[in-house]
Copies of this chain bind each other. A is one copy, B any other.
Amino acid sequence: MNVKERGLLIVLSGPSGVGKGTVRKALFSQPDIQLQYSISVTTRKPREGEVDGVDYFFKTREQFEQMIRQNELLEWAEYVGNYYGTPIEYVEKTLQEGKDVFLEIEVQGAMQVRKVFPEALFIFLAPPSLSELRKRIEMRGTESEELIRDRLKAAKEELEMMDAYDYVVENDQVELACERIKAIVTAEHCRRERVAQRYKKMLEVE
C-alpha cells in the first residue's frame, strides 16, 4: 500500500543582490533540515572551494546546450555570459519519492518553473526595505527627500515583482528568514486540502 504524498517543490527567488545564496546556505547548514537541495548546472568556472556535484554541476557550453535541446532543464537562463539551469530529472524523481525539493533561482527562472509546476511554492525573498522605509519616513527631516524617493521607487518595483509569488520573506536577518521559510514548508504540509487528500487515499485503498 502506498499512501505516500508527492513532495513539495519550493522555489526561493527574489531580486538580485537580496541574499538568496546566503539564505540558502544558512538553511542547508542546519542539521534538522528536511529539504532536498536541487543542485544547478552551470557553464561558469568553479570558484575556489567549489566542488562539482556539490555546489554546481559544471558543464561546457556544448554540454549545456545539448541539455536545453533534449529538454533536460526545468528552467535555464544566461547571466553575465554563463548558463545556469535546473536539471528536471532530479527534481521529478525526488518529488515522486515524497521528498520536498528546494530551488534557489533567479526571478526569470522562477517564472519558467511556474509554467511547468504551478502547484509549487513560490517564495519571494525581499530586502528589508519596507521596515527600513517606515523608519526613514517616520524620521523624515533627518533624511534627504531624494533618498526616501529612491526607496519608495524600489518598494514599488518589489511590489510588482512579488505578484507571482505565494509568500514574501523579508531578509532582515538571515536566521529569521530561514525560520520563516521552514515555517512556510511546515504550514503547507498542514493545509487541509493536502491532509484531506491523504485521508481520502487511505479510505479509498480500503
Contacts and interface: CB of A to CB of B under 8 A. Distances in A.
Contact of A158 (B159, B168, B186, B199): B199
Interface string A185-206: 0111011100110111011011
A134 B167 contact: no
Contacts of A186: 179-180, 183-184, 187
A168 B195 CA distance: 7
B196 A159 contact: yes
A89 interface: no
A36 to B, nearest CB: 19
Contacts of A48: none
A183 to B, nearest CB: 4
Given A163-B196, A187-B188, A134 B202 contact: yes
Contacts of A159: 196, 199-200, 203
A206 B137 contact: yes
Given A138-B1, A186-B179, A202 B130 contact: yes
A24 interface: no
A41 to B, nearest CB: 29
A183 B138 CA distance: 31
Nearest to A158: B199
Given A155-B199, A168-B191, 5 more contacts: A137-B202, A162-B199, A167-B190, A167-B192, A183-B186
